[in-house]
Structure 1
Amino acid sequence: MMRILIYGLNYTPELTGVGKYTGEMAEWLAAQGHEVRVVTALPYYPAWQIDPRFSPWRYCTESIKDVKVWRCPLWVPQKPTGLKRILHLASFALSSLPVVLWQGLTWQPDIVFVVEPAFFCVVGALLASRISGAKAWLHIQDFEIDAGFDLGLLPSSGIIRSSISIIERWLTNRFDRVSTISERMLERLKSKGVFAQKCVYFPNWVDTTKIYPLPNSSLLRQKLGIASDTFVALYSGSMGEKQGLEILLAAAQLLATDYPNILFVLCGEGSAKEQLQKSAKKLPNVRFLNLQPVDKLNDLLNLADVHLLPQLCNAADLVMPSKLQGMCASGRPVIATVLPDTQIAQVLQNCGLTVMPGDTTALTESIIYLATHPKRCLELGKAARKFTINNWQQAKILQQLEQKFDLLCLTPKLEIDGARLEQSLKSD
């Protein structure tokens, strides 16, 4: 059995995004008999408000399903902007540094596993692994630095970006293993100068026994009073700047008069939600729902006739949306606004539709097509479910991770350094 120290910004009980997956991974590893500890922040995402059950500026510990969790304070801006996001991430890196170092020094883990975002935490993870003799593993859920530049959240100066990229590459190559969640992101990782021997494909997953097509109509549909002949186009997830959700309201406006039986449902929380609600005030075919609890997630996903996955053009392949697995597992087709050569487009080749980012007309036409072709909608949904079972089953993916952890712990440090030296000689 291994001692595994997990270090990251987000964790259970956060219901969406990175925290959901980190929590499920930690609990699964603990259930296999491994000792698992977590250093994380106070829960705040996706509402961008610290959970009222926690004191904003206090450290605390708790035990969740045999996982010992250390929670560290952080600053959470009410309206996150580029600079505020940086300060937000830095506040956690600073408050958590003494905790992760103490865990490395006193607990002596076998593996220190750090999750990006936040990249600010990689220094603490490396130091903790060095003082404990542990292997260091960096898992990238989101190329946050690239996204920050490409989305205009960070200064666009070439010198600044080049300098940060050099630091990023140097720090990343200090890890024994570096994983990420899609094949395209893995290619990007290698193109950034990370040694190929270190790179690992570790996708997100879904529990297909908990998310599955319901044989009958969703109870949530009945509760909300949505007629059985209404075609529901559902967006469920975080409502932030990276999602480009404005296009959904633009499509709803185009459909409001001629297709009153098509209803847009937007469910979730995030920094952009308030503005979206203001923009949708006069749209009768748009409804907002609060984030649903875990035990209602399958009912929510089955509310949809089609799932909507808007993405900004310059965010493609910087992230692999974690919501996609649940969408496909529910047996419903997905319409995504992505470029044709992206990973998301490849996934949806046989189980959904894709349109160009920002193309409101194409998105509208795709929704109309599925709303008026129920047989095709059903076929795509079945294909989505099949793809999920073949590629994203939780137990299979986490078993493979456990095996990689075992192999890494048995790998002599000399062998890893040798691979690094070999790659350096090739690049020279």
Structure 2
Amino acid sequence: MDAFLTGLAVLGLIVLYIGLGTWVFAGLMLVSVTSLGLILDFPVDRIGAIAKSILWRSSSTWELVAIPLFIWMGEIIFRTDIADRLFRGLTPFVARIPGGLLHTNVTGCTLFAAVSGSSAATTAMVGKITSSALADRNYDTNLSIGSLAGAGSLGLLIPPSIVMIVYGVLAEVSISRLFAAGLLPGLLIAGLYSGYIMLRCFINPELSPKGDERYRLTDRLRAILDLSPVLALIVIVLGGMYAGLVTPSEAAAVGVTATLAITVLMRELTWRIFVDSLMGAVKVSCMVCSILVAAALLSTAMGYLHVPAELAKAIDALSLSPYQLLLMLALFYIMLGLFLDGISIVVMSLPITFPLATMAGFDPVWFGIFLVLMVELGQVTPPVGFNLFVLQGITGHPIGRIAYAALPFFALMCLGVVIITLFPDIALWLPRQMFG
């Protein structure tokens, strides 16, 4: 029980440092050093030796190479004409179904998520094109903003996903299996969103005014040509991984090379875009990787404190069923999502929640998908919902209105969590077929 109380004290320190506005990297390092030095009374030289070993080992993991490369892919695409082409390419295929061009939000985010790996990048990339286009065509503002907020979060679930890489490194779970496991749940969530849009617009057709455009076969063939850059990148990156030709890290390198080649062929790549995208990727990658190495040290400190083991014992003593435990973890993650970004949620909570989930019998790959969905929920909940901030910057609407518009899609994502919990094979079938 002493270790359990110590764990609560450590969690309190984390909340205190983050609440004071400390950088997440610095806050995690301070908590780790404080725990080892004050609680365990380790001498300074031993703390230094532990920190040196852990920081070097965690920062030199080969799988981390994929993070800056996937981020760079998204940065290049964000600065070129590919997003405009994506909207033009999708329009002839969705214009005549209930909801019309609102489906470009969902479909566009789904496709872009497959080459981005970032929720904020997906939301910003698609949102900067579709939000103004839908407003000009008098589509319902709340449905437009809400679908963007919800579908933008698919950047975390549909592979390649930065959060999945982080989880895979920390939990020592195959990243290739995680990528395969995220595909069908991602399509399920996208299907729920599109189904909701169709239902709403079928009940109230005024939400999506009918267009006068008539699209012929030649228009659709031209649209496929506009979609070809994104489709080519999806085939190259995901196809290479699922065919077993490349690892996730190698796929990221191939993807960046293909992105550069495609933008050159499109005459979109300039020296300014190259430098700006590279610097953007460096900044985001340094942030992500610094948090990761600090989280590795925190995990070690928690291990020395026996916090995961004691928490597991305490929860085991409550005699919770696996589903009750999962509900408790879901509420815990939704609370964290109110205040923290996705990567911070994963690295700070995983040393505690991962042992609990595996002890309860949940598959580590499935739990990774569950955790990503929990992080996605945090992307659309104020006050620290990153997708909400992105959309506020794009649309100029108050954050409260954006959060209200996103509420139905938050509920649909919760429904998606329930579905994959009741039917875990939705996440596990594809990796089992591909990797045995």
If asked which structure has higher relative contact order (CA below 8 Å, sep 6+), I would say: 2
Which has the larger helix fraction? 2
TM-score by length of 1: 0.25
